[in-house]
Amino acid sequence: MLARAVTHALVGLDARKVEVEAHLQNGLPGLAIVGLADRACQEAKHRVRSGIASAQLEWPSRRITVNLAPAGLRKEGSGFDLPIALAILAASGQFPLERLAGHAAIGELGLDGRIRPVRGVLAAAQGARYAGFGRIVCAAESAGEAALAGVEPVPGRHLAEVVSYLRGEIDAPPFEPSENGSGAEEDELDLADVRGQDRARRALELAAAGGHNLLFAGPPGTGKSMLARRLPGILPALTSEEALEVTRIYSVAGLLSAGRPLVRRRPFRMPHQSASVAAIVGGGPGPRPGEATLAHHGVLFLDELPEFQRPALEALRQPLEDGFVGIARAEGRAMFPARFQLVAAMNMCPCGGRGDPAAECACSTRKLAAFREKLSRALLDRFDLVVAVPRPRAAELSGRAGEESRLVRSRVVAARERIRAGPLTRTFPATELLDRAVERLPLSGRGRSRVARVARTIAAIADVDAVAEEHVAEALAYRSPRELSA
Amino acid sequence: MIELRRADQRFPARLRAIFDPPRALYVRGAGAVALLGRRAVAVVGARSCSPYGAQVARMLGRELGAAGLVVVSGLARGIDGEAHRGALDAGGLTVAVLGCGIDRDYPASNAHLSRRIEEDGLVVSEYEPGVEPAPWRFPARNRIIAGLSEAVVVVEARERSGALITADFALEEGRDVLAVPGEITSSLSAGTNALLKLGAAPVTAVADVLELLGVEPRPSTTAEVSAAAARVLELVRESAGGADELTARGVLDAGALSVALTELELAGLVAGTDGVYRAVTT
């Protein structure tokens, strides 16, 4: 009396096929689950037993062994409940075994037999498709997510319903794609709400067009985070592949909102200053994605940059360089994509007095030195654009409303296309100006190449063919100022 | 390293003339010892200075150095360091007076600066190698700064600043004392404004210092700048401000303004610190 159901276990963002074998034999009635099941998975025993009883099905009073193969792979979470229940029911002949062919299954069982959604259904469904399964039995709430993978979902609200389907008593419960992300998006924050701040706005636009990392430095309350939050709104919309990638990450992290399976907005992540290394780059025994990965294809915003733990900041260097995070575990290595744009904000000194014409900096030189010590050269080097945001005078706050995000975005999209079309050449006077700047300003070799990159973006925004002197001159205004690095 | 005893011919005459000249002066650096006898001005001030003070100190160092005067200061953070840097920027000569053993670099953060000073100038101290820096040695050091200089310019000083001690020594020895006026609301200007009230000569431009010493200012070369940059320079000269304030006051958009500001910065007419742009006066 042996039956098999198939499900998928998550390893990082990837799904690995797991066969759930149930074997009934004579002996003292009981259920044993083997195959490196974690705590939540072991508890499946109780949920499955109650679920089967609640569905008015028969709990075989035999000795039941459930094996999760491959036995060497760690199984985490409650998504194994449904396949375990199905394997047991098939083994005890409560529906024809062959009906399970071509079906994968994932879902948690309630004590009343209800099927609950779990995280990572999209990844599991993708895994099912690669393994050649045409259908996946899952919670009704997860059906939209599963459908994104190109697998036909069998949405089940209750175990009894799924069993009736497998007995051939009913057709697969119909799956209606919810109106999905195509419906009206929640209101995006608009740049029109930001008054004044012309330079910072300009820098934001350049950051969006060139994919540059951006650092705002200035006293508190100058609208640094207000600006940063509006960056996703001026970035081009996610392509469908990008949207699927982001959705998969959010699915694994359990952050998808029900009824809106596809993430269409660029992520904006703003971890708190107390975030640990694992929270930033991901971690845990079966590694989970961190903020850097959740910001994939979007924006990672670090407010009060120097308040972050130094190791957490240093851990960001790999994803900034390579676009992914690699987490090594005894059982192997998980790779999380992490191609995000970094925006950070900081005060110019611990007391916040610097850059504020109305206040005086009361920081001792030692305190100031410690504050700057926190930001390594290597990290500051990642910011192409550094904008000092001094406190505006009252007159500026009543200034005209800014341009709408929509208009800025159209320029950004055009500039990106221009950059993609081919490299822009640099005119001779522009190169000359760069050389002169290295000589006269505190500008390092790395600083020089950063300025050159930004100048290219400025030229692309200006919609011209070559980087001219004025583009380099503007780019120089966003260089990392001496007082942040000295 | 050279040790100059007081009796040594090469011991600077101006320093020998003060009330209690050091028994010996230790000297390191590639500059000639005769440098100590050349016309010199001290530029001193607070360690935790404002961006305004730092900028003025740098400008004074640069212009005095360019005029051929030796810039003397104490290698401290803030005003002192900026004055040295200014002189080096102009390719001028500068002398740093230490308040610790001649072999020490104090503060450590200025070790690199001290290397640069030694390339053409001198680092001097009355303390033999190995003497630790200590707070009570700095006032004594200040008498040497004053003693080596014909005039002392105080850039920014709080009410009880070491720079005022230097000014006192200078007054006692009959050297000129000048002070840079600051905002009356800023505690960083309390010391300098008090000096002015007592009759110190105000410094509103480098010319004030040069005139007092009877040095011919070098002919001012007005850099050629574009029309837009000239307009921005006018705005910055009216009052210092951040980029956005300047946009609000002017007619340029953010991009064009950045272009103009960079042009002015490269021409040495404007300096930006903490996002606030100030005109550089000469």
CATH number of residue A314's parent domain: 3.40.50.300
Residue B265 domain-assigned (yes or no):
yes
Residue A484's pLDDT band, with cuts at 50, 70 and 90, is: low
Please report, rounded to a whole number, the percentage of residues in chain A having pLDDT higher than 70: 93
Task: Let me know whether B132 and B265 are in one domain.
Answer: no
CA closest to A199 among chain B residues: B254
CA distance B274 to chain A (A): 5
- Same-domain pairing of B65 and B113: yes
Query: What tokens were used for B113?
Result: 């600066």
Task: Tell which of A110, A134, A167 closes a domain.
Answer: A167
Contact B244 A198 (CB under 8 A): yes
For residue B149, what pLDDT is reported?
95
Burial of A325 (0-12, 13-18, 19+ CB in 10 A): buried
Are A388 and B247 within 8 A, CB to CB?
Answer: no
- Average pLDDT (A36-43) is 84
* Average pLDDT value for chain A: 87
Residue at B204: amino acid letter: T
Best of B55, B262, B273 to disrupt the A interface (most A CBs within 10 Å) is B262
User: Contact A230/A204 with Cβ under 8 angstroms?
Assistant: yes
Asked if B43 reaches chain A (Cβ–Cβ under 8 Å), the answer is no
How confident is the model at residue A301, as a pLDDT?
Answer: 95
Task: Take residue B61 and report the two structure tokens written for it.
Answer: 């160092």
Q: What is the CATH number of the domain that holds A126?
A: 3.30.230.10
- The reply to whether omega before A173 is within 30° of 0 (cis) is no
Q: Is B186 on the interface with A (CB under 8 A)?
A: yes
For an interface test with B, which of A360, A474, A480, A483 has the most B Cβ atoms less than 10 Å from its Cβ?
A: A474
Residues of chain A positioned with their CB less than 8 A from the CB of B47: 365
Residue predicted with more confidence, A306 or A91: A91
> Could you tell me the CATH number of the domain that includes residue B239?
1.10.10.10
Q: What is the mean pLDDT of residues A460-472?
A: 90
Question: Which of B188, B213, B238 lies at the terminal end of a domain, its last residue?
Answer: B213
CA distance B280 to chain A (A): 15
Q: Domain check: are B141 and B260 in the same one?
A: no
Q: Is residue B144 domain-shared with residue B67, that is, in the same domain?
A: yes
In a domain, A365, yes or no: yes
Query: Tens digits of per-residue pLDDT, A233-260?
Result: 999 999 999 999 999 999 999 888 777 7
Question: Are A206 and A331 in a shared domain?
Answer: yes
What is the total count of domains within chain A?
3
Is B219 a domain residue?
no
Determine, yes or no, domain membership for A207. Answer: yes
Q: Are residues A279 and A242 in the same domain?
A: yes
Pick the range with the lowest mean pLDDT from B43-57, B119-133, B215-229. Answer: B215-229
pLDDT surpasses 80 at A401: no
Q: At residue A35, does pLDDT exceed 70?
A: yes
Q: In B, which residues are within 8 Å of A197 by CB distance?
A: 244
Specify if B44 maps to a domain.
yes
The domain boundary, picked from A106, A133, A167, lies at A167
Per-residue pLDDT at A377 exceeds 80: no
A204 within domain boundaries: yes
- Closest Cα partner for A227 from A301, A291, A295, A306? A301
* Domain extent at residue B56: 2-213
pLDDT at B65 over 80: yes
| Residue A413 domain-assigned (yes or no) | no
Please give the structure tokens belonging to residue A172: 């697969």
**A316 and A323 Cβ atoms separated by less than 8 Å:** no
Judgement on whether residues A272 and A388 belong to the same structural domain of the protein: yes
Q: Does B253 lie at the interface with A, CB-CB under 8 angstroms?
A: yes
Domain of B122: which CATH number? 3.40.50.450
End-to-end CA distance of chain A, in Å? 74
pLDDT band at residue A398 using 50, 70 and 90 as cut-offs:
low
Q: Model-level pTM?
A: 0.80
The answer, yes or no, to whether residue A59 has pLDDT greater than 50, is: yes
Using a CB-CB cut-off of 8 Å, the residues of chain A touching B77 are 365
* Count of domains forming chain B: 2
Best of B49, B185, B259, B264 to mutate (most A CBs within 10 Å, chain A): B259
| Average pLDDT estimate for B154-164 | 91
Residue A182 pLDDT: 47
* The token pair that represents A406 in the structure block: 């929509």
Q: Are residues B270 and B149 in the same domain?
A: no
| Out of A38-47, A70-79, A133-142, A348-357, least confident range | A348-357
Q: How far is B252 from chain A (nearest CA, A)?
A: 11
What is the C-alpha separation between A32 and A323, in angstroms, rounded? 43
Distance from CA of A453 to the nearest CA of B (A): 16
Is the pLDDT score of A280 beyond 50? yes
Is the per-residue pLDDT at A410 higher than 70? yes
Asked whether residue A104 falls in the same domain as residue A134, the answer is yes
Question: How confident is the model over A342-361, as a mean pLDDT?
Answer: 79
Q: Is there a domain that residue A438 lies in?
A: yes
Residue B134 sits at the chain A interface (C-beta within 8 Å)? no
Query: Does residue B56 carry a pLDDT above 70?
Result: yes
What are the tens digits of pLDDT across the range A149-187?
A: 989 999 999 999 999 999 998 887 777 766 554 444 556
Give the one of B247, B263, B276 whose C-beta lies nearest to A198's C-beta: B247
Cβ of B243 and A199 within 8 Å? yes
Q: Does B47 touch chain A (CB under 8 A)?
A: yes
**Which residues on chain A are in Cβ contact (under 8 Å) with B244?**
196-200, 390, 392, 396
**B272–chain A Cβ distance below 8 A for any pair:** yes
Q: At which of B171, B189, B213 does a domain end?
A: B213
Task: Classify residue B220: in a domain, yes or no.
Answer: no
Which B positions 135-174 lie with beta carbon below 8 A of chain A?
A: none
Predicted confidence at residue A21, as pLDDT, reads 95
A393 falls in which pLDDT band (50, 70, 90)?
low
CA–CA dist B72, B149 (Å, integer): 7
Which residue of A lies nearest to B89 if distances are taken between CA atoms?
A: A440
CB contact under 8 A, B255 and A202: yes
Report the gap between the CA of B214 and the closest CA in chain A (Å). 31
Determine the pLDDT at residue B220.
60
pLDDT (0 to 100) of residue A183: 45
Q: Cβ contacts (< 8 Å) between B243 and chain A: which residues?
A: 198-199, 388, 477
Six token digits for residue A176: 């209606």
Q: How far apart are CA A53 and CA A111, in angstroms?
A: 9
Residues 6+ apart with CB under 8 A from B149: B14, B40, B41, B42, B72, B170, B175
Residue A439 banded pLDDT, cuts 50, 70, 90: confident
B187 touches chain A (CB under 8 A): yes
Q: Contacts of residue A441 in chain B, CB cutoff 8 Å?
A: 265-266
Same domain, A74 and A132: yes
For residue B266, give the nearest of A354, A393, A436 by CB distance: A436
Q: Which residues of B touch A474 (CB under 8 A)?
A: 255, 258-259, 262
Instruction: Say whether B242 and A389 touch across the interface (CB within 8 A).
Output: yes
Contact assignment for A365 to B262 by CB distance below 8 Å:
no
Tokens of B85: 């840097």
- What pLDDT score does A39 carry? 83
Bridge-based pairing of strands B241-242 and B276-279 is: antiparallel
- Choosing from B168, B187, B213, the residue where a domain stops is B213
Please report whether residue B123 resides in a domain.
yes
Q: How confident is the model at residue B221 (pLDDT cuts 50, 70, 90)?
A: low
The answer to whether residue A121 is domain-embedded is yes
B247 touching A (Cβ < 8 Å): yes
| A96 and A138 in a common domain | yes
Q: What percent of chain B has pLDDT over 90?
A: 50
Complete DSSP assignment for A146-210? HHHTT-EEEEESBHHHHHHHHHTSSPPPP----SGGGSPPPPPP-GGG-BS-HHHHHHHHHHHHH
Residues from chain B contacting residue A458 (CB–CB below 8 Å): 255
B257 touches chain A (CB under 8 A): yes
Q: Which of B48, B248, B273 sits opposite A483 (nearest CB)?
A: B273
> For the residues A413-435, what does the mean pLDDT come to?
88
| Whole-number Å distance between alpha carbons of A288 and A15 | 13
Residue A415 lies in a domain: no
Question: Are residues B138 and B161 located together in one domain of the fold?
Answer: yes
* B132/B167 same-domain check: yes
Share of chain B above pLDDT 70, in %: 97
Q: Are residues A477 and A354 in the same domain?
A: no
- Among A199-213, A399-413, B163-177, the minimum mean pLDDT is found in A399-413
Q: Are residues B258 and B201 in the same domain?
A: no
Report pLDDT digits (tens) over A9-21: 988 888 999 999 9
**pLDDT > 60? residue A454:** yes
Instruction: Say whether both A384 and A433 belong to one domain.
Output: no
Please state the three-class secondary structure of A332-350 as a single string: EEEEEECCCEEEEEECCCC
pLDDT band at A354 (very low <50, low <70, confident <90, very high): confident
Give the chain A residue whose CA is nearest to the CA of B240.
A357
How far apart, in whole angstroms, are the C-alpha atoms of residue A46 and residue A35? Answer: 17
d(CA B157, CA B194): 10
* Chain A residues near residue B254 by CB distance under 8 angstroms: 198-199, 201-202
Domain co-membership, A131 together with A211: no
Instruction: State whether residue B230 sits within 8 Å of chain A by CB.
Output: no
Same domain, B143 and B12: yes
Pair (B269, B197) in one structural domain: no
Note whether B259 contacts A483, CB cutoff 8 Å. no
Residues A229 and A372 both lie in one domain: yes
For residue A31, name the pLDDT band (cuts at 50, 70, 90).
very high
CATH of the domain at A484: 1.10.8
Q: What is the pLDDT of residues B249-264, one digit of tens each?
A: 777 888 888 889 888 8
For residue B48, give the nearest of A364, A395, A483 by CB distance.
A364
Which one of A370, A404, A438 terminates a domain?
Answer: A404
Domain boundaries, position A371: 191-404
Least confident of A100-104, A192-196, A354-358: A354-358
Determine, yes or no, domain membership for B145.
yes
- State how far residue B192 is from chain A, nearest Cα, in angstroms: 17
Q: Does residue A132 have a pLDDT over 80? A: yes
Same domain, A340 and A429: no
Does B105 map to a domain?
yes
Does B100 map to a domain? yes
- Supply the mean pLDDT for chain B: 89
The pLDDT score that the predictor gives to residue B219 is 65
Task: Output the pLDDT for position A107.
Answer: 95
Residues facing residue B71 across a β-bridge: B41, B94
Q: Does B48 touch chain A (CB under 8 A)?
A: yes
Residues A385 and A462 in one domain: no
Q: Which two tokens stand for residue B105?
A: 């670099």
